[in-house]
Amino acid sequence: MHGRQKKERTAEEEVAKEKERCKKVAAYQYAMGLIFSKRGKKELDEELLKITQQVLASNPDISTLWNIRKEVLSVMKETDFTNFLDVVLQKELDFTEFCLKINPKSYGAWHHRTWLMKETNFSKVTSELKLCAKYLEYDDRNFHCWDYRRYLVENCSEVTLEQEFDFTTEKISSNFSNFSSWHLRSKILPKLPRDFLEEELELIRNAVFTDPKDQSAWFYHRWLLRSQLPAENPYLIAAQYSDTKLSLIFSSKSPIPSQSGVKVIDTDKIIGNLKWTNPWSNTCSKLWECQLPEANKNISIKADSSVMRNFGSVDLSLKHGDLKRNFPKYFDAETERKNDKFLSLLKEEISWVQELQEMEPDVKWPICTLIMLMRMVDFVKYKENILNHLDKLMKLDSQRINYYLDLRSKYLIEWKLVECSSLPGLDETVLDLSGLNLTALYYPERMCFQTKINLSNNALKNCEPFRALVNCKELNVSGNNLAKTKLESTIEGLKNLKIEL
Amino acid sequence: MAASLSTDIILPNAPPDLLLPKHAGFLSKYGTAKDDYDYCMTEFLRMSGMYWGLTALQLMDRLDSVPKEDVVAFVQDCFHEGTGGFSPAKDHDPHLLYSLSAIQILAMYDEFKAVDCSKVVEFVQSLQQPDGSFFGDKYGEVDIRFSFCAVATLALMKKLDAIDTRKAADFILSCQNFDGGFGSKPGSESHAGLIYCAVGTLSILKEIDRIDGDALGWWLCERQLKSGGFNGRPEKLPDVCYSWWVLASLTILGRGDWIDQKALIKFILSCQDVSTGGFADRPGDVADPFHTLFGLGALSILGYEDETTVKLKKINPVFCMSQEVIDSLGIEVQILPGGGAC
């Protein structure tokens, strides 16, 4: 029972109410008995329509009654299609609308209308679209109605994509807080044949300056800018071959290598039946390992040029003991270098969001957005600004402090890894991530060749990322919130590991 | 314009303690008066209503307050030999929604033998479509709620191999939106309840790692309002049932600590009806078994306990059933590792 307020009634009122309810129950039970008995006798006639109508009118959620109506209507359609189309359909639409007035979120009533449209080849689409407009006027977040409307549009040629786009503009202009419209816009925009970016940013600016606390336009803004970035398919960034074990590291979560076209070749022959595993037994992972049938072979890795892009798009040959890596200096499409045109657009974005942030220092959304924009422009250069903004967020929005702490940990690790990547002999020197107040260990796969890692004096609590530290020999995790036995059992497979805890 | 002003509630001062005996009384009494108005008017979802009430009772270790034989007989009465599906009540039509509830109830009682389960498998199987989606029944409505029902029903009976699981997962992913969330079908707006169905289905299918836990986790933790309660979509009011849909989803994503757990507990406790027992969607509204289960379920995930009450049993975040039952069936779900391991 959603949103039904409890009413205080006097004893007298209670008696009257109870009497009325008893009557309703008796009527309901009588009608349902009649309906099921008629259905049992296959009396699929107008009378059955009438009785089900009486019950549904006060309770439109009884889906079986809608089913029974469909059975009766199918018979009527079969017997006299013209009459069905001219008379019956309209009556049925009117009745469904009546039910929607009682419960505008009735799954049964909306689905019944969908069924009617399909049965009559969408002959009434124009008036149906008007009905949708009316219901969205009444509640512009009614997702049943939005779904029904989309169903109509997809199945008729009356509404062009442009018109549909204009409809969302109209709805957004009358209420910027209409997340449903922003959502639909995100679906239409990629299908339109022209570039909308500037116009969209203008609309977003109007929305967020009107009400900077409203999430709707901010979510859309985030998506819009990120959708301009190239899609990042996982590609190989490192491979290690030692003993009989082959480890592959990917830029982002990749399905099992054998599925993504990665082949391991031993002098012209593909090594078959390799059992790929990852530390979390996931279907997608950034780290994949397998045991090779024989040691001391010269092997090569073969895959699509997109997968091998960091190794000059050619096969990667590996001798026993080899570690070949080409870690990019960015972590996702957001942190990758952009072209100048897009960069200058992003800088303009930073400038107006900053302006809004200064006007509304207590609102978190401009700050969240600034962090994203700064990461997109130059995540290394903006390090101090990003950290300051994160601090502000933690103060302003303490409910989500653990989320911000994890985010902060992720960024700190990114900066550290970029900084270390240019150091020589990095695998043997200590990777020092101590004293950063890290709450999460992001990118453990990029630390997997490291033999010495110092993570002391942080706030780490989850042992799972440690599974990826497969080459680690000395691990300092003292001064964290990790349970010793849990950590030891999690990384049981790691040999010769000295843990300081 | 300033919609953000009207999309939260103000909680009454101090929330009551957790009133478990009252809630147990509320639930075990529910349905004893067969001619009660509300009871009759909810006949169309009776099977799910039974599942909500019984699961809540089991979390409070009071399942024995309802006669098992009556429940199993009711489930048997709602089984349709012809189709293999379950209806919400006798004479009503079978549907995936009620088939899951029926199988959950039978699992709770270790009574799969009460019906011909191979028929149930056929029913679920017959409703899968070429794109991997599921009809709810023969009338053709598609919704990821039904994907969840189908996959969870089969998983409980250990019969997932009866359907194309890869396609089922692909369909779920086709419902993902610009904000990382999921809607009822491709193109539909994100909604916390449907996100739970998406995340739950992928977890059962062991494909949850195909989604970006950070992006979706953030959208979900943004559902928490100042009152501590969760809404289901941006700029909407909080409701106790979203405590479950959101928190269970975050738990499956390995990010249950991204919210203010204390504030959520306060909100949930405030939604108890101290006179009748049970939980309502919001403080001061009418209590019902649906919100009672989801309020208690969220408290169970949060490990809530106070000095006055016994501890709630642990709940499984995917099946929304007591973890004991899921363990006894030997079922494992996939939970993202979290902590940066993604």
Closest CA to A184 of A143, A225, A155, A213: A143
- CB nearest to A176's CB, from B1, B45, B140: B1
For A:299-338, CB contacts with B below 8 A are none
Say whether B139 and A177 touch across the interface (CB within 8 A).
no
Q: Is the distance from CB of A168 to CB of A181 less than 8 angstroms?
A: yes
Least confident of A60-69, A186-195, A288-297, B263-272: A288-297
Q: Mutate which of B9, B37, B264 to test chain A, going by most A C-beta atoms within 10 A? A: B37
Q: A107-119 vs A89-102: helix axis angle to the nearest 10?
A: 160
Q: In what order do the strands lie in the sheet with A323-325?
A: A284-291, A245-255, A236-242, A323-325
CA distance B86 to B97: 9
Instruction: Indicate if ipTM > 0.85.
Output: yes
Q: Mutate which of B80, B178, B292 to test chain A, going by most A C-beta atoms within 10 A? A: B178
Nearest CA in chain B to A154: B187
- Mean pLDDT by runs of 10 across the 342 residues of chain B is 63 90 92 82 95 97 95 97 97 98 98 98 98 97 98 98 98 97 98 98 97 97 98 96 98 98 97 96 95 98 82 96 98 95 86
Asked if pLDDT for residue A405 goes beyond 70, the answer is yes
pLDDT in tens, A190-246: 999 988 999 999 999 999 999 999 999 999 999 999 999 988 899 999 999 988 899
Say whether A3 and B285 touch across the interface (CB within 8 A).
yes
What is the torsional sign of CA A421, A427, A428, A431? Answer: positive
CA distance A57 to chain B (A): 12
For A:50-109, CB contacts with B below 8 A are 59, 61-64, 67, 70, 107
* Percent of chain A surpassing pLDDT 70: 98
Say whether B259 and A6 touch across the interface (CB within 8 A).
no
Encoded tokens for A365? 């959304």
In DSSP notation, A347-366 reads HHHHHHHHHHHHHSTT-SHH
* Mean model confidence pLDDT for chain A: 93
Least confident of A247-251, A396-400, A490-494: A490-494
Nearest CA in chain B to A278: B341
Average pLDDT over residues A2-17: 85
Residue B4, pLDDT score: 42
Nearest CA in chain B to A5: B285
CA distance B155 to B204: 7
Residue-level length of chain A: 501
Residue B309, pLDDT score: 64
For A:471-500, CB contacts with B below 8 A are none
In DSSP notation, A268-314 reads TEEPPS---B-TT--SEEEEEEEE-SSSS--EEEE--TTTTGGGTTS
Helices (H) and strands (E) in chain B, counts: 14, 2
CA distance B218 to chain A (A): 8
CA distance B128 to B110: 27
CA distance B190 to chain A (A): 8
Other CB atoms within 10 Å distance of the CB of residue A59? 20
- Assess A173–B contact: CB distance below 8 Å, yes or no: no
- CB nearest to B2's CB, from A63, A211, A410: A211
Give the contacts of A456 (CB within 8 A, at least 6 positions apart).
Answer: A434, A435, A476, A477, A478, A479, A480, A500
Nearest CA in chain B to A114: B141
Average pLDDT over residues A16-36: 94
Provide the 8-state DSSP code for B272.
B
Provide the CA B95 distance to its chain's centre, in angstroms: 17
Say whether A5 and B285 touch across the interface (CB within 8 A).
yes
Say whether A444 and B341 touch across the interface (CB within 8 A).
yes
pLDDT in tens, A87-115: 999 999 999 999 999 999 999 999 999 99
Q: Is the distance from CB of A259 to CB of A252 less than 8 angstroms?
A: no
CA distance A291 to A295: 9
